[in-house]
């Protein structure tokens, strides 16, 4: 990763480094990439188009930490509306609970 932003201890006690590389936010455990969110330009702001997470690391707080970093970097980014069931559940939960600093628009984008 180009820029290391934070290190968190996830819910299972693992040390996770989160940072960014170009238009990607990445999470690493023991220098192995375990999650990556890919952004692209969309309508004068950024769009989260791809969010990948190793299944062994789901539901451990890493996505929430990545969300915070995404809001710090890209503020009110849009979100593509075609994620896996796990990804869709994560984003729906964030929207319904009003988590985060912004209301993020869901959009269709054929690039992803």
pLDDT digits (tens, 9 = 90+) for 74-108: 988 888 877 777 877 877 777 777 666 666 777 77
Secondary structure (DSSP) of 22-47: TTEEEEEETTEEEEEEEEEEETTEEE
CATH number of residue 89's parent domain: 3.40.630.30
pTM for the model stands at 0.84
In a domain, 105, yes or no: no
Q: What is the pLDDT of residues 17-64, one digit of tens each?
A: 999 988 999 999 999 999 999 999 888 889 998 889 999 999 899 999
Give the count of domains, the chain: 1
Range(s) of the domain holding residue 32: 3-99
Mean pLDDT, the chain, as a whole number?
86
* The predicted structure's pLDDT at residue 84: 77
The answer to whether the beta carbons of residues 41 and 92 sit under 8 Å apart is: no
Residue 112 lies inside a defined structural domain of this protein:
no
3-state secondary structure (DSSP) of residue 103:
coil
Using CA atoms, how far apart are residues 12 and 24, in angstroms rounded to an integer? 24
| Residue 90, Ramachandran bin (φ over 0: left; ψ between -120 and 50: alpha; else beta) | alpha
């Amino acid at each position: 990763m180009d820029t290391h932003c934070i290190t968190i201890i996830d819910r299972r006690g693992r040390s996770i480094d989160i940072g960014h590389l170009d238009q990607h936010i990445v999470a690493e455990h023991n220098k192995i990439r375990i999650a990556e969110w890919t952004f692209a330009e969309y309508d004068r702001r950024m769009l989260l188009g791809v969010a990948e997470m190793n299944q062994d690391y789901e539901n451990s707080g890493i996505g929430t930490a990545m969300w915070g970093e995404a809001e710090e970097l890209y503020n009110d980014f849009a979100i593509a509306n075609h994620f896996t069931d796990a990804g869709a559940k994560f984003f729906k939960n964030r929207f319904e609970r009003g988590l985060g600093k912004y209301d993020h628009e869901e959009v269709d984008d054929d690039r992803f």
